Chains A and B, each alone.
Chain A
């Protein structure tokens, strides 16, 4: 049952204390960490970049509404998936929320099965997104370790040139090219030429 990743959290934003309390209880019983907020403002203020998970927010709230929250998140480049709840089943507002990039919307009162489905999907999407970001950051770090000459050689390898051609172009021996390639593989933590090309392309 505890299939969720430990640090994934649902940030629940609703002005109604009973809704916050009951949903937090239900979600935590289903093994999903939940952090309730009474207002969208308090979520924005306390948000920290290392938090991950998804937002589950009511649309109609006094103060900042769900739609305004979406705009505020976009403005701050916070790329967390947002699931909106509509208490009044207002299709037009829900459509606006989706247009603003909401992950999904649910009509209140919500049944648990659908809610859990949507939230697990949202958490998975967030995880994948963060995974991709982390992988790219790691690659960037590794590429930084290469010397100028190694970068030149990597570019020529990626362009599909043979060792001999590279050696002729750079005015060095094939043997030296071979040594450089081995160093590049080592620094980029690659085990095959194919892997090396993939890392380079990802960059």
Chain B
């Protein structure tokens, strides 16, 4: 099991290194130090790889204390504390794993569970650990409360800072390759971290605890901008730098004095980062949805293009083939003709048939599956599509409103095709608003209204754009008719075709908003006309 060994070796190595490095300002005869990033490694291992790693954890704690402590307690006490700590953190990891929280933290809810469980576990760990040491006579009973508090905050703060960073390697939430590709994005957070490190050393040099608070500025900024990964990496680095600065600067303030702000910094960054991550994930989902819609839209448009092309080309092909056949008849006896002419005409006829077959295949390829009719909530579709276009509406400062009379029933349509139609109409409206002169910029408005009409549902998309030019109204729904410089003129033709195949329709009228009003008629039942 080479993988097994690699994980174990990496864990033990990292644990011992951090344990050694963070062994600063210990309480005498204990390993109670103000900041324990090594416990962060423990939690990461137990969360990511499973609770059955607890024995390895116990062993590493035991070895770590033996190696790093200046005056370690006798080994039976050490063994007891090691087993106890490993047991407590294994329980914490088990309860988090039961809630599927071993993945990178991406939501405030996950951050709250993580912070809550870890806070409780480190408190229990601290109480038990100090209790064992007091019982063994290693600590004076009067120091109990202060020791527990210090150990608790040190453990808590170490886990909060380091575990989320280490967990990033586990899940798919953080895209290392993607991040590395835009290396320029690293410049700003790196600057932020440098500022943070500067404050850390300034704090040490000035011996002024108040200088701690400016540290929140770069860390919160990075958290909001880069989510949990950025937040927790910067927190770990700043915490490490602060510990190093205070340790290396002779006569600076004791590390225990900044222990609590350090924890506060870690928790703040975790929650802000989780909020930002959640926002990023939501944005990415919207963008992905839009991309899927665009793809099916393109495919449908290509199908419409193929269909229109086949129709346009079939006419000359029919004429061509008939002319060739007529010419062949003319060469038949009693008229006399060169044998080569007869053969050539025959070949020409064959080629014309071959071209026709190519056209037919092209059309069949794009026809794809027919519409899949299912009961669909038309308002939900409108909301979804409008959501996908939200960003564009915001950019164009368009007021958007979705109005519905009470109880619009479900309609029998193909959901994707209805999305394509609504998307088409909304982008048409947005394009129309873009074409408005700047002096009319204050009245950019799009409204979608749904109402019931007998066995049908009517969805009207109104805009305050320039409306449909009189020269276009007649032929608006024909393929290749467009008012846009870079449009294909397939959107409306495609939309109407899709709807008519489902027993619906699409028509255009002037809008009371001053622009165009497109009405989608959808059937609530499958009728005889459907798919005719």
Contact = CB atoms under 8 A, between A and B. Distances in A.
B74 interface: no
B319 A19 contact: yes
A26 to B, nearest CB: 4
Contacts of A95: 532
Contacts of A96: 532
A108 B322 contact: no
A96 to B, nearest CB: 5
A89 B363 contact: yes
Contacts of B326: 22, 25-26, 29
B531 A16 contact: no
A159 interface: no
A112 B363 contact: no
A93 to B, nearest CB: 8
Contacts, number: 75
A21 interface: yes
Contact of B323 (A16, A22, A89, A108): A22
A92 interface: yes
A25 B501 CA distance: 37
Interface string B303-340: 00001001100111111111101100110000000000
A110 B319 contact: no
A101 to B, nearest CB: 15
Given A23-B322, A110-B318, A87 B311 contact: yes
A108 B315 contact: yes
Interface residues of B, number: 25
Interface residues of A, number: 23
Contacts of B321: 22, 109-112
Nearest to B529: A96
B323 A109 contact: no
Contacts of A26: 322-323, 325-326, 329
A41 B325 CA distance: 29
Nearest to A67: B532
B525 interface: no
Interface of B: 307, 310-311, 314-323, 325-326, 329-330, 352-353, 356, 360, 363, 501, 531-532
20 contacts: A21-B319, A22-B318, A22-B322, A22-B326, A23-B322, A26-B322, A26-B329, A29-B326, A29-B329, A30-B329, A60-B311, A88-B311, A88-B314, A92-B501, A92-B532, A108-B315, A108-B318, A109-B353, A110-B322, A111-B321
Interface of A: 16, 18-19, 21-23, 25-26, 29-30, 60, 85, 87-89, 92, 95-96, 108-112
